[in-house]
Amino acid sequence: MEDNHGRFMILALKEAEAAFSRNEVPVGAVIVKDGVVIARAHNQVEMLQDPTAHAEVLAIGAAANHVGTWRLNGCTLYVTLEPCPMCAGAIVLSRLDRVVFGSYDPKMGACSTLYNIAQDERLNHRVEVIAGVKDDESKLLLREFFARKRG
């Protein structure tokens, strides 16, 4: 299964690279069901001028459209950066089985770093969390993006 995690995270990294090329924070996401990618997205906050246009939220919406229901049971989200509180909430609400992320986010991480919304026992659904898959590659993209921003 770990090989599959790496394979799908590479696809999420390609989405992050697409975000980078569009001057968006380089975060990419893919959603997989039964070994098949059913949705892919990258951050589009700047392009859409929408603070909710994070890769995870866009991928969740696309996956729900693909399967014809908001319940994404049996699906795994691969995302290059640990989800923020908003995205972690959307992950729980969409009933995803699992989230696999690349880099930890020390400023906004809500799947283990600052909060653990995905596994909070007070909520009606909990999500398996697997962290650190292709961490170095995710960090490199983020560092390069923010280094360019700082000039």
Distances (CA, A) of 30 to 6, 8, 11, 93, 149: 12, 7, 7, 17, 26
Non-local CB neighbours of 126 within 8 Å, separated by 6+ positions: 92, 118, 119, 120
What whole-number distance in Å separates Cα of residue 77 and Cα of residue 62? 12
What whole-number distance in Å separates Cα of residue 71 and Cα of residue 107? 29
Do 69 and 120 touch, CB atoms closer than 8 A? no
What whole-number distance in Å separates Cα of residue 125 and Cα of residue 131? 19
DSSP state of 79: E
Is 56 tagged catalytic?
Answer: yes
Catalytic residue, from 24, 56, 82, 137: name it.
Answer: 56
Q: Which residues are identified as catalytic?
A: 56
